[in-house]
Amino acid sequence: MTADIAAEQKSAEVTDWAARIGWLVGLVLFIALVYWLMREGWKWRGALQGDLPELPTAPEEPGEARLTMSGRYHGSTTAGQWLDRIVAHGLGTRSRAEVTLTDEGLDVVRPGAADFFVPVAQLREARLDKGIAGKVLTEGGLLVITWEHGDRLIDSGFRSDHAAEHNEWVDTLNHMINTSDKSDKTEGAR
């Protein structure tokens, strides 16, 4: 009877450790290759956008703040092309942002990324939208500010910590832009 019990018991399958380790190493190498290709693509996109001038910095006396916003900067794209991300000069880097609107322009302070300033004369439009490269939200969940830099129009996307502020930003920015355009035309006619 003990012989019958011993005959019924099977030894466990032996694990082929060499094959498992080979698959694991192959998987790690594949993931590393994918990340390397993504990094190279990011650098290549930045090189293609090398004609973009350096970003302006805030003036020493920017004036009194009209509006301030704390939130997230989601990136910049070519205006009207919400998937054509601009990565040159750090504009493609998502980050927290403190945005301040003054009579001089829009000051974007980004911890861990390059700060930039958009003079009021370069502001073109503000609107609510639902997406920008890499970020899609509900309708009207993203504040998109269009501005001119060099010979390019750029859309920059922001999301406030308090989304109810977005409408006030759109109204104030568009009013400033329209007022600035009228005064530029009046000065040009003189």
Q: Provide the CATH number for the domain around residue 110.
A: 2.30.29.30
Residue type, 97: A
Q: Which residue has the higher pLDDT, 11 or 128?
A: 128
Give SS3 for 115. Answer: coil
Q: Does the pLDDT of residue 142 top 50, yes or no?
A: yes
Contact 145, 172 (CB under 8 A): no
Number of folded domains that form the chain:
1
Backbone angles phi, psi at 115, to 5 degrees: -75, 155
Give the per-residue pLDDT at 21: 92
68, 75, 79, 93 from 88: Cα distances, Å? 26, 11, 15, 9
Q: Does the pLDDT of residue 150 top 90, yes or no?
A: no
CA distance 21 to 24: 5
Mean pLDDT of 138-147: 86
For 45, the domain range is 1-190
- Quick one: pLDDT band at residue 17, thresholds 50, 70, 90? confident
Q: 130 is written with which tokens? A: 């639902």
Q: Work out the number of other CB atoms within 10 angstroms of the CB of residue 77.
A: 23
Q: Does the pLDDT of residue 181 top 70, yes or no?
A: no
Of 70-79, 118-127, 177-186, the least confident: 177-186
Q: Does the pLDDT of residue 28 top 90, yes or no?
A: yes
Q: Smallest Cα–Cα separation from 127: which of 155, 94, 93, 98?
A: 155
CA distance 104 to 66: 10
- Quick one: pLDDT band at residue 189, thresholds 50, 70, 90? very low
- Contacts of 16 by beta carbon, 8 Å cutoff, 6+ apart: none
Q: Smallest Cα–Cα separation from 145: which of 114, 177, 113?
A: 177
Give the per-residue pLDDT at 182: 60
Q: Smallest Cα–Cα separation from 73: which of 59, 55, 53?
A: 55
Q: Does the pLDDT of residue 36 top 60, yes or no?
A: yes
Q: Does the pLDDT of residue 72 top 60, yes or no?
A: yes
pLDDT tens per residue, range 94-104: 899 999 999 89
Cα 103 to chain centroid, rounded: 25
Rounded to two decimals, the pTM is: 0.75
Give the per-residue pLDDT at 136: 78
